[in-house]
Amino acid sequence: MGRVLVRCARKASLPTIIARHARNNGDVTDTRRPWLLIVVLLITGIAGVWAAFALTLDKFAVLADPNASLDCNFSVIVQCGANLQSWQGAVFFGVPNPIWGLLGWVAPIAVAVSLLAGARFQRWFWIVFNVGHAAALAFCIWLMGQSIFVIGTLCPWCMLTWAAAILAFWTLTFRNLKEGVFGDWGRRLGTALYGWSPLVAVVSYAVVAIVAQARLDFLGML
């Protein structure tokens, strides 16, 4: 009888051991799909590819004719021509920024589709994925500063890219905190903020808009 009880206890504790091991390794123990993250990654990924593709076509048009009339040129301030012709428009190895965007924005779409299909990723993957989004956001913040304070323009397609990067970063970061990817210390914070990711992104948009308005008075030029 004692051996039976010990055997049952061992079997009963096995799921707990597996769950604890998965949690310590940063795996998601919840089998439910992260729908908010999936939707955000899909929307931001598609928006990013769309913006990058449009900017790539505009870049080709500008290369063919520097005086080309672009659909994204609405005014002296709200335009993309000046951004595309500036050195800030091709920072890495002389390759236009939208080309890198076409490559980079495929990743969120691929991850979202994988999650939708039921895929589960290791802790290291989520860390690398989050670092990639942080780097993309940092680059976007630098481009915001260059566009607003140096070039003196607001590129519509660029702003769509900025918006996508901001929303994707906050949602992914809060999700990873919630799932303990960065350690147990962030679980409570991530749980509290994950559902508010869109609102945090909207607040970020408002900050950028206020800075741009204060510097460029773009509303007065509409």
pLDDT at 221: 66
pLDDT at 7: 52
Residue 94 has pLDDT above 60, yes or no: yes
Residue 24 has pLDDT above 60, yes or no: no
* Range name among 1-5, 28-32, 171-175, 182-186 with the lowest pLDDT average: 1-5
Residue 43 has pLDDT above 90, yes or no: yes
* CATH class given for the domain over 32-221: mainly alpha
**CA-to-CA distance for 120 and 129, rounded, in angstroms?**
13
Please state, in angstroms and as integers, the Cα–Cα distance from residue 220 to each residue in 77, 83, 158, 205, 212, following that order. 10, 21, 20, 19, 12
* pLDDT tens digit sequence for 155-181: 999 999 999 999 999 999 999 999 999
pLDDT mean over 146-162: 96
* Range name among 30-34, 64-68, 79-83 with the lowest pLDDT average: 30-34
HSE-CB at 186 with a 13 A cutoff on CA atoms is 15
pLDDT at 31: 61
Q: Residue 146 — left, alpha, or beta (φ > 0 → left; ψ -120 to 50 → alpha)? A: alpha
32 near 20, Cβ under 8 Å?
no
73 near 81, Cβ under 8 Å?
yes
pLDDT at 21: 47
Q: Dihedral of the CA atoms 112, 116, 119, 123 (nearest 10)?
A: 40
